[in-house]
Amino acid sequence: MLSVRFWGTRGSIPCPGPSTIVFGGNTSCLEIRADERLIVVDLGTGARLLGEFLVENDSKKGPIDADIFITHTHWDHIIGFPLFSPLFIPTTKLRLWGPVSFGEKTLESILKTQLDYQFWPIRMSELSAKMEFAELRETIIDLGNDLVVKTKYLNHPILCLGYRFEYRGKSVVTAYDHEPFYNLFPTDKTSPSYDEYAAQEGELTAVEENEKMIEFFKDADVLIHDSQYTEKEYNNGKQGWGHATFEYAVGLAQKTHVKKLILFHHDPSHTDAMLEQFEQDYQQKPAKGLLNRAKSLGNTTHITIAREGMTTEA
Ligand SMILES: [Zn+2]
Ligand SMILES: [Zn+2]
């Protein structure tokens, strides 16, 4: 069985409070289980609660052993690292994976920087868990026992990886922080920085990368996708910030025959009331067009917005 539990669903910054009780205020952290095997995606502030859960439950059955996949090192995806309590248990074994993209800084050094005395009172030397770090590019990793992970570069201001976990015929895909690939070069011939070759290459690259995303999502049982903005918000100056819209995620999930789309990485300004309304809207909207077309092909995508504490199965 391949399952997911959401420990943090929010993007950018934690935002606890009376208007985020239903969908949660903690930032990205997913617990994925391939039967008993533990995978974690990102260590946002949700990792504090996951850590406590693992110490309370998993450690009674044996040492905590996990593969942790970091999508990228923006704060909202790593800030829970110093508070992940299995780090303080000597028998814990963690393999931390993440993209190579940080100049001279390794994934290990960035995570450890958070424990510098300017930022945090606990020293790295006080963490007793056994940790191994591995840096990833676009690749396929065989983790053994039928568990395979495929990676795909996403479109974000820093290199960021999407993960596709495949286990015994089931699949869970993550695609955040991400916005559709687009041509980065000016296409307006009257622009002083217009370059015909660059404009054409930029267009081709965007098309190719968007096609690769389609292949990456194809027939996924569960797709956890960035939906930080509505289309209206995105078109109001948010292009280039590295986040997708509800409309884009829903359209692509339908097109690629995804079974369950879970919208994720909620904007801090999106309250419970707004997200409940969006969920209703986007569950109904595709019925007018996309969903009908998908139904005629014998395919429908179930759409939900991620709530902290929610679980789902592939
Ligand atoms: Zn983020
Ligand atoms: Zn980010």
User: For 49-63, how does the pLDDT look when each residue is reduced to its tens digit (9 = 90+)?
Assistant: 999 999 999 999 999
Q: pLDDT band at 242, cuts 50/70/90? A: very high
Cis peptide before 65 (omega within 30 of 0): no
How far apart are the two ends of the chain, measured CA to CA in Å? Answer: 7
User: Relative to the alpha carbon of 13, which ligand is closest?
Assistant: 1
SS3 content of the chain, % helix, strand, coil (to 5): 30, 25, 45
Packed helices 246-255 and 272-288: angle between N→C axes, nearest 10 degrees: 40
Expressed in angstroms and rounded, the spacing between residue 308 Cα and the centre of ligand 2 is: 19
Please tell me which residue, 301 or 101, carries the higher pLDDT value.
301
Burial 81-115 (b: 16+ CB within 10 A, else e): bbbbbbbebeebebbbbbbebbeeeebbeebbebb
* pLDDT over threshold 60, residue 292: no
Q: What's the 145 CA to ligand 1 centre distance in angstroms?
A: 31
Given a contact cutoff of 8 angstroms between Cβ atoms, the answer to whether 72 and 101 are in contact is yes
Residue type, 8: G
**pLDDT at residue number 293:** 53
**Rounded CA gap, 54 and 80, in Å?**
14
Q: Is residue 151 part of a domain?
A: yes
- pLDDT for the residue numbered 147: 98
What's residue 101's pLDDT?
Answer: 66
3-state secondary structure string across 283-298: HHHHHHCHHHHHHHCC
Which ligand is closest in space to the CA of residue 161? 2
- Ligand 2 centroid–CA 12 distance in Å is 7
CA 267 / ligand 1 centre spacing (Å): 9
Distance from the alpha carbon of residue 11 to the mean position of ligand 1, in angstroms? 5
CA 72 to ligand 1 centroid distance, Å = 8
Q: How far is the CA of 164 from the centre of ligand 2 (A)?
A: 18
Q: How many residues does the chain have?
A: 314
Ligand closest to CA 267: 1
Q: At what angle do helices 246-255 and 196-217 cross, to 10 degrees?
A: 60
Q: Point out the ligand nearest to the CA of residue 264.
A: 1
Q: Give the structural domain span for 106.
A: 2-309
- Inside any domain, residue 314: no
The pLDDT, as a whole number, for residue 25 is 98
> 297 falls in which pLDDT band (50, 70, 90)?
low
299 confidence band (pLDDT: 50, 70, 90): low
Q: What's the CA-to-centroid distance between 166 and ligand 2, angstroms? A: 24
Task: Tell me the average pLDDT across 20-37.
Answer: 98
Strands (E), the chain: 2-8, 29-34, 37-41, 65-69, 93-99, 130-136, 140-144, 147-153, 161-167, 170-175, 222-226, 260-264, 302-305, 311-313
Tell me, in angstroms, the distance from the centre of ligand 1 to residue 195's CA. 33
Domain count for the chain, please give it. 1
Ligand 2 centre from 273 Cα, in Å?
25
Residue pLDDT, tens place only, 168-193 = 999 999 999 999 999 888 888 888 88
The per-residue pLDDT for range 111-161, each reduced to its tens digit, is 999 999 999 999 888 899 999 999 999 999 999 999 999 999 999 999 999
In a domain, 60, yes or no: yes
Measure 177 CA to ligand 1 centroid, in angstroms. Answer: 5
Q: Which CATH number is 166's domain given?
A: 3.60.15.10
Percentage with pLDDT > 70 across the chain: 95
Q: Which ligand is nearest to the CA of 242?
A: 2
> How far, CA to CA in Å, does 37 sit from each of 52, 117, 172, 238?
18, 34, 14, 38
Residue-level pLDDT at 149: 98
Ligand 1 centre from 241 Cα, in Å?
Answer: 10
Taking the centre of ligand 2 as the mean of its atom positions, its distance from the CA of residue 141, in whole angstroms, is 23
Helix (H, G, I), strand (E, B) or coil at 268: coil
What is the whole-number distance in angstroms between the Cα of residue 157 and the centre of ligand 2?
7
> Is the pLDDT reported for residue 298 higher than 80?
no
Q: Which residues lie at CB < 5 A from ion ligand 2?
A: 74, 177
Q: What is the CA radius of gyration of the chain?
A: 20
Predicted structure pTM score: 0.94
**Per-residue confidence (pLDDT) for residue 102, from 0 to 100:** 64
- The first and second tokens of residue 301, run together, are 């995508």
> What's the pLDDT score for residue 286?
57
